[in-house]
Amino acid sequence: MVMRFGNGFFEPVWNSRYVDHVQITMAETIGVGTRGRYYESAGALRDMMQNHMLQLLSLVAMEPPVDLDPDSVHDEKVKVLKSMRPVGAGLVATETVRAQYEKGIVEGDEAPGYREEEGVDPDSRTETYAALRVYLDSWRWAGVPFFLRTGKRLSRRTTEISIHFKRPPLLLFAEKLAVSTPPNVLTFRIQPQEGITMSFNSKIPGPTTQMRTVNMDFSYGSAFGEELPEAYERLLLDAMLGDSTLYMRKDEVDSAWGFITEILHGWETTGRPGLERYRAGGAGPESAAVLLGSNRWRRL
């Protein structure tokens, strides 16, 4: 929130006129560990998407609150959640992806498949990966897809939000980069290596006009001499101080569950999309790429 509302230069471009799409990723390298029995009844959609992912979505898409009073912030966040276009039985096949990991190599070691984990049904149909394409029916975000993905046993642990801007209206250098003119991307790295990266195209030094993407980086670790507190440290401190800003208000919880429940219902009644399998240590199922159309997920 400080980045978005404490700086003037984000706001003018923070809308459907300049933003092509937004990607929100919460990738874990760990499996279900000893939580197999719980996870069987939850799955990635309930475990991560309903709470963590939708919170990140509401923070990135919300309007500026009138002040920093917790209720003012909650008012704006709940508007975002209410503006999410429902993904019901008629849309789950094209707007969602669900998958389950099978064995592979993660962080240099062999990892078992989900169905081999302790406490997990060998025929389990529980998703350990979920991806969604979400549209917000609001003045600011009309037509801008938000792609959300979360999964266990992926190649790298990362939580981030990336804003993918539209390409320039006239591609003067299109011939130099052909079809792959990379768009500008602003990435908020939430963990690990908390910071912000802006990627843009630069000329390669020399007599010819060739471009490549370069990054402008801000990293909390190298800018400040103090460690950022763990997420739950901050939440516990806020609870002790009576500050509910970072907690969900009841109407937020209701809106988030309302959206997720429709998807769950759609999955249950249609059986679509089918539960895919993905190799542990990879980037997730292949169909998640289809969700993005001509765009690509950011590399894990």
| Site residues for other proteins per CB under 8 A | 104-111, 155-156, 158, 176-180, 182, 187, 197, 199, 204, 210-213, 215, 217, 279-283, 289, 296-300
Q: How far is the CB of 199 from other proteins (least distance, A)?
A: 7
Give how far Cα 94 sits from Cα of 17, 100, 120, 187, 233, Å.
Answer: 25, 18, 28, 26, 39
The verdict on whether 52 is a catalytic residue reads: yes
Q: What are phi and psi of 227, to 5 degrees?
A: -80, 145
Q: How far is the CB of 177 from other proteins (least distance, A)?
A: 6
Q: How far is the CB of 147 from other proteins (least distance, A)?
A: 14
Which residues is 159 bridged to in the sheet?
A: 26, 191
Tokens standing for residue 229: 């507190």
Q: How far is the CB of 150 from other proteins (least distance, A)?
A: 17
Q: Which residues are the active-site residues?
A: 52
